[in-house]
Structures are given as C-alpha cells and as structure tokens.
Structure 1
Amino acid sequence: MNRRTTLAGALALTTGLALAGCSASDSKPELKVTGAFMPQPVSDMAAGFLVVRNTGGSSDRLTSVTSPLSDHVTIHETKNQTMRMVTSFEVPAGGELDLERGGSHIMFTALKERPKQGETVTMELHFEKADPIRVDLPVKETTYNPKKQ
C-alpha cells in the first residue's frame, strides 16, 4: 500500500469518527414523566401537573395532550398571574418542563365525569419528536400541592 492510500484511509476514518461524534450530540430526546397529579375538580374543569425530564441530547416540544376524560385538553402558560393557552412547551435537552400549581399546566374543560380523590385519570402527552407518553394522573385532594408537603 502506498503512502497516499494510507493517508486517504486515515483521513476517511477520522472524518467518519468526527461525524459519528456530531450525531451523538444530536441524539433523540429521552423523556420521562414524574410527579404527575390532578387535584380533585370542583367543577367541569380540572388541571393536571407533572414534570417532563429530558436526559437526551436534543430538545423537544410538548405539543398536545389527549385524555378520555375530556375532548378539550389544552396547555396553558401562567405569567404575571395571567393564564393563556399556548400551542407548545419546550422540553430542553438535559433539562425539564415543570407544570406546577400557580404556573404552567394542563387544562381539562367540559369533563365527561368528575373524578374523585383516589381515582386515576389517564392522558397521553404528544411531542414534536418523541413518541407519545401515557400518563396516569392520581387524583389528589383539591388543595394538594407537593411543593408544600
């Protein structure tokens, strides 16, 4: 083998390894849901709270939520004590999306039934990149707040 062929082979191998390293840093989001709950609703509306952790190498976006409890499930942002519906929430790479009381949350309206404390509500989170995640929300007392426990 001549010197030029050896150099070309080494260069091709180095380039391939560098490209493989780049694609690893752009890996898929790795999402996990924790701390999910729903305070027992007192009307035909309810809220859902949870944390979506992303241990992957790229960000994702929560784009919608579906549930058999309601045909009208939306996501809401709360800023300066004002709530507004949004089309998505970012789930940053190596970070989390925290949907908590007094802040951003999932809103269920026109409930088909009113779940009681101790029951579980099923929902599915839909993302821009990751596969949907099924979540079981335990229904807690109306005033439940894990931050104050």
Structure 2
Amino acid sequence: MRRAALPVTALAAALALAGCGSGQGSGEPELSVSATYMPQPVAADMAAGFLTVTNKGGEQDELTSVSSDIGRVTMHSTSGGTMAERTSFAVPAHGRLVFRSGGNHLMFEQLKQKPRQGQTVKVRLGFARSGPLTVEMPVRSATYNPSTGH
C-alpha cells in the first residue's frame, strides 16, 4: 500500500506546483489605458499626445504602433533634453508605460484639421502580443497640466 501512496503524493505535488504560475496577474499581458489627453495644439499641423498604458499581467508587451484618422502619429522619447523618434516602447509586466510632457510622448503630424479644446481624438494603439486598443483622447487647453487638474 505504501508504494501506491508515493506516486499519488508526487502527482498531487506536481499539480499544485503547476497551478502556482497561473492567476494573480501572471501569464499574458493585461493592458489598459488611462490619463489620455492632447493639449490644444498651437500649430495648425502638429500636436502632442499623452497617455499611460498599464500592464497588470505577468508578461511584458510592446507598443509597436500608434495611428489616428487626424494625421500621422509617431512615438518619441526624450532624454537629457534630446528627443528621438522610436519604433516601439516596452510595457513591462506588472508595470506602466507613461507618455507625459517632457518625457515619452506621441507626435501628431500632418494634421487634417486642428483639434480644438472639448473635442476628442480617436487613437489606435498596436501591441506586439496583445490585440489593438482604441482610446478617446480628450483635447484640453494648451496649458493643461494633469498634475494640477486644469
């Protein structure tokens, strides 16, 4: 009888260990987008956009494209006062990718029309692993600063 108990115990332990990696934010990326906004542009053909992508999942993803019907959209990083166009940004597991004034940001170029305060701009985000997300980006005043809530 002792011999039968050992394989059953080993099988139960193996099944318990296999379950340890699932659930609780592990596995596939779980993406959401918040804090979207575009300051009303001062130029007729160019604007900036900001947002936060949050990943509650246990695997990293990558933002690989951004598009909008209002014009061409590119992604940029800013480091030491120098801006550089990027083709992708990592969205870390259990982390965030932040696009904010003075840092990483979206550039809307060759605008078909100048967005005005009170309007919204649809933006489609493409990812390496997850499906695309479409978000509404409200157009705020040109001096809007999210840390002050204006």
TM-score higher than 0.5 = yes
**Whole-Å Cα distance in 2 between the matches of residues 17 and 75 of structure 1?**
43
Taking structure 1 as the reference length, the TM-score comes to 0.89
Task: Give the match's secondary structure for 2:21.
Answer: helix
The match for 1:112 is: 112
CA–CA distance in structure 1, aligned partners of residues 73 and 129 of structure 2: 20
Q: Which has the higher helix share?
A: 1
Residues 126-146 of structure 1 deviation map (CA, whole Å, 9 limit, x = unaligned): 112222111100001112121
**Match in the other structure for 1:22:** 21
User: Does 1:31 pair with 2:31?
Assistant: yes
Q: Which residue of 1 aligns with 2:131?
A: 131
Structure 1 Cα separation of the partners of residues 148 and 104 of structure 2: 17
The aligned counterpart of 2:8 is 9
Q: Which residue matches 1:40?
A: 40
CA-atom RMSD, angstroms?
1.6
Please name the residue that 2:144 is paired with: 144
Shift of the alpha carbon at 1:6? 2.6
SS at the partner of 2:116? coil
Superimposed CA distance per residue, residues 93-123 of structure 1 (whole angstroms, 9 cap, x where no aligned partner): 2221110001101111111111111100001
Identical amino acids, percent of aligned pairs: 45
CA positional deviation for 1:147: 2.3
The TM-score normalised by the length of structure 2 is 0.89
| Structure 2 segments unaligned to the other structure (5+ residues) | none
Secondary structure class of the residue paired with 2:147: helix
SS of aligned partner of 1:146: coil
1:147 aligns to what SS in structure 2?
A: coil
Distance in 2 between residues matched to 1:63 and 1:102, nearest whole Å: 21
1:96-107 to structure 2, matched below 5 A, reads: 96-107=96-107
Gaps of 5+ in 1: none
Shift of 1:59: 1.9
Q: Which amino acid aligns with 1:42?
A: V
Deviation at 1:13, TM superposition (A): 2.2
In structure 1, distance between residues paired with 2:113 and 2:38: 14
Cα distance in structure 2, aligned partners of 1:104 and 1:51? 10
Cα distance in 1 for residues equivalent to 2:115 and 2:22: 45
Please give the secondary structure, in 1, of the residue aligned with 2:103: coil
Aligned residue pair count: 147
Question: 1:16 Cα shift?
Answer: 2.1
* CA distance in structure 1 between the aligned counterparts of 2:56 and 2:2, rounded to whole angstroms: 44
TM-superposed deviation, 1:23: 4.2
